Amino acid sequence: MEWIDDPSRGDWLRELLEAGAQTTQSVVPRGYEAYARVFHPAYLRSLPDRAVPTPAEYERMPDAELQALHGQYIDEETTWTATAEAFGTTLHPLAQWQRLVRTPEGEDWRTRVAPDGREFTSPEEGAMPPELLASISRHLVAHTSTPDAGFAALWEGWGGLLGFMGRTPSRAWLTFSDTPAHEQLLERSIHNPFEDAYRKKTWQPGILSEEISRGPRLQLPGRDHVLFSAAPRAFADPAWILDAPWRDIEAEEHGFAPSAQHPNLIWPEDRAWVLVSEIDFDSTIVAGSAALVAEICADPALEAMPVPADADLGWQGDGVNR
Task: Quick: pLDDT tens for 219-230.
Answer: 998 889 999 999
Residues 132 and 175 in one domain: no
Residues 154 and 32 in one domain: yes
In a domain, 316, yes or no: no
Task: Quick: pLDDT tens for 135-174.
Answer: 999 999 999 999 999 999 999 988 788 876 776 666 665 5
Q: Which amino acid is at 218?
A: L
Residue pair 121/114 in contact by the 8 Å Cβ criterion: no
Residues 84 and 135 in one domain: no
- Dist. CA 136–CA 165, nearest whole Å: 38
Residues 36 and 48 in one domain: no
Residues 159 and 258 in one domain: yes
Q: 118-145 as b/e, with b when 16 or more CB fall inside 10 Å?
A: bbbbbbeebbbebebbbbbbbbbbebbe
Number of domains into which the chain is organized: 3
Residues 155 and 275 in one domain: yes
Looking at residue 304, what is its pLDDT? 97
Which of 283, 302, 317 is CA-nearest to residue 124? 283
Residues 212 and 297 in one domain: yes
Residues 92 and 132 in one domain: no
Q: Which amino acid is at 142?
A: A
Residue pair 313/281 in contact by the 8 Å Cβ criterion: yes
Structure-model confidence comparison of residues 153 and 176, the more confident one: 153
- Dist. CA 18–CA 310, nearest whole Å: 10
Task: Quick: pLDDT tens for 247-306.
Answer: 888 888 878 888 888 899 999 999 999 999 998 889 999 999 999 999 999 999 999 999
Q: What is the sign, positive or negative, of the torsion defined by CA atoms of 157, 162, 168, 172?
A: positive
Determine the structural domain holding residue 302 and report its residue range: 2-40+126-163+208-307
Highest mean pLDDT among 88-92, 192-196, 246-250, 310-314: 88-92
pTM for this model (two decimals): 0.82
- 3-state SS, one letter per residue, for the chain: CEECCCHHHHHHHHHCCCCCCCEHHHCCCCCCCEEEEEECCEEEEECCCCCCCCHHHHHHCCHHHHHHHHCCCEEEEECHHHHHHHHCCCCCCCCCHHHHCCCCCCCCCCEEECCCCCEEECCCCCCCCHHHHHHHHHHHHCCCCCCCCEEEEEECCCCCCCCEEECCCCCCCCCCCCCHHHHHHHHHHHCCHHHHCCCCCEEECCCCCHHHHHCCCEEECCEEEEEEECCHHHHHCHHHHHHCCCCCHHHHHCCCCCCCCCCCEEEECCCCCEEECCCCCCEEEEEECHHHHHHHHHCCCCCEEEECCCCECCCCCCCCCC
In a domain, 11, yes or no: yes
**Long-range contacts at 48-53 (CB < 8 A, ≥ 24 apart):** 48/72, 48/74, 50/117, 51/113, 51/116, 51/117, 51/118, 52/113, 52/117, 52/118, 52/119
Looking at residue 186, what is its pLDDT? 45
Residue pair 73/47 in contact by the 8 Å Cβ criterion: yes
Which of 263, 216, 202, 215 is CA-nearest to residue 235? 263
Residues 54 and 189 in one domain: no
Q: What is the sign, positive or negative, of the torsion defined by CA atoms of 44, 47, 50, 54?
A: negative
Residues 246 and 190 in one domain: no
Task: Quick: pLDDT tens for 91-102.
Answer: 999 999 999 999
In a domain, 319, yes or no: no
pLDDT of 88 above 90: yes
Task: Quick: pLDDT tens for 5-64.
Answer: 999 999 999 999 987 656 778 888 999 999 999 999 999 987 666 666 666 666 676 766
Q: Which amino acid is at 20?
A: G
Backbone angles phi, psi at 274, to 5 degrees: -140, 135
In a domain, 95, yes or no: yes
Backbone angles phi, psi at 307, to 5 degrees: -125, 155
